[in-house]
Amino acid sequence: MITGSKKELLNLIKKMGVVSIDDCSEKTNLAKTTLREHFLQLERDGYIKREYLRSGPGRPLLRFKLTRKGHKLFPAYESDLMKNLLQFLKQRGNEDLIEEFFRSYWNKRYEKATLLIDDIPDDQIEERLNLLTDLLEDDGFMPDVKYDDQTGNYTIRECNCPFYDIIDETRLPCKLEEEFFKKLFQTKIKRTTFIAEGDFSCTYCHDEDSQE
């Protein structure tokens, strides 16, 4: 089990997508020598990998991001058994049963969320978002929610996908997650980044001007 400052680094990479040693030095209390040692160990263990970003003359910038093994360290509901079950049902033409299951699951999430926020007036969006953040945190999505009280716009960023392997078999969780936010806030919400397509997070943006 990874604990302590190495776990802190992995959490930071998960939230930021890619990081440099300078990024981590600014956001932690760790010395650069310690950071380099941690990165080397995490890289040797297969949890992170390096990439180089060239932006003009000089040496390219060294950055690190999680590998698939690294992503698997974070909360996930799926298991090999669940993935095998989906494959089994698909091979036997039971896609309708798969959809029924996931819709039932998301309906329960919606009911749980509405119980939390129903007592909060519609115009108190920030307080509603705070409660939603707690729910997403409990569900393992590692949320980063931003609200602009001047414009009424907000962004919901999920840094972790608890269904990371399941989406190899079905994109229903992705579709239903987007419907979940639209239904919960009765607004037009646009997904601007998508883990299933290689992004570091799933990001949902709301623009007050587009409200239904």
SS3 6: helix
Q: Are residues 60 and 86 in the same domain?
A: no
* CA-CA-CA-CA torsion sign (170, 173, 174, 178): positive
Written as one string, the DSSP assignment of 71-137 is: HTTS-----HHHHHHHHHHHHTT-HHHHHHHHHHHHHHHHHHHHHHHTTS-TT-HHHHHHHHHHHHH
**Could you tell me the two tokens for 30?**
């760790």
Specify the DSSP class assigned to residue 210. G
Q: Are residues 50 and 133 in the same domain?
A: no
Q: Are residues 66 and 84 in the same domain?
A: no
Which pLDDT tens digit goes with each residue over 53-72? Answer: 877 777 888 999 999 889 88
Q: Are residues 67 and 87 in the same domain?
A: no
Count of residues making up the chain: 212
Which pLDDT tens digit goes with each residue over 70-114? Answer: 988 887 665 677 888 889 999 999 999 999 999 999 999 999 999
Q: Are residues 65 and 102 in the same domain?
A: no
The answer to whether the CB of 64 falls within 8 A of the CB of 43 is yes
Radius of gyration of the chain, Cα coordinates, nearest whole angstrom: 19
Would you say residue 44 has pLDDT above 60? yes
Q: Report the domain count for the chain.
A: 2
Q: In which element (H, E) is residue 143 found? A: strand 143-147
208 or 25, greater pLDDT:
25
Measured in whole angstroms, the distance separating CA 169 from the mean position of its chain's CA atoms is 18
208 or 102, greater pLDDT:
102
Q: Are residues 50 and 113 in the same domain?
A: no
Q: Are residues 42 and 109 in the same domain?
A: no
Report the CATH number at residue 24: 1.10.10.10
Q: Are residues 106 and 203 in the same domain?
A: yes
Would you say residue 212 has pLDDT above 50? no
Tell me the C-alpha distance between 102 and 58, whole Å.
50
Of 23, 51, 71, the one marking the end of a domain is: 71
Q: Are residues 88 and 178 in the same domain?
A: yes
- The residue range of the domain holding 101 is 80-210
Which pLDDT tens digit goes with each residue over 107-146? Answer: 999 999 998 888 888 888 899 999 999 999 988 899 999 9
Would you say residue 211 has pLDDT above 60? no
Which pLDDT tens digit goes with each residue over 193-204? Answer: 999 898 999 999
